Structure 1
Amino acid sequence: MEALYILIPLGLTIIFAAGAALIWAIHSGQFENLEQAERLGLDDE
């Protein structure tokens, strides 16, 4: 039971950090040019 006092805030912190990283990536333009990302994954053969 005592582990929940550590795991619940830790889990919420990780979720908040992931959400903040996603929002930062969206606002900084990481997802602006998705066509180029598709071309990087294709083979030239």
Structure 2
Amino acid sequence: MIPFRKAEKRQVGFLTKEEIDALLDACTMKDPLGRRDRVMVLIL
């Protein structure tokens, strides 16, 4: 049997509301790729 690797578990980080708003503001709504990016950020 192969022993498990001993590694520390990292704590999952979260974005603040201000960081999420900055990501959404960076997406342009003028072209399809910008709309796609905005939808992906909203889903995540």
- TM-score scaled by structure 1? 0.29
More helix by share: 1
Query: Which structure's relative contact order is higher, taking Cα pairs within 8 Å and 6+ residues apart?
Result: 2
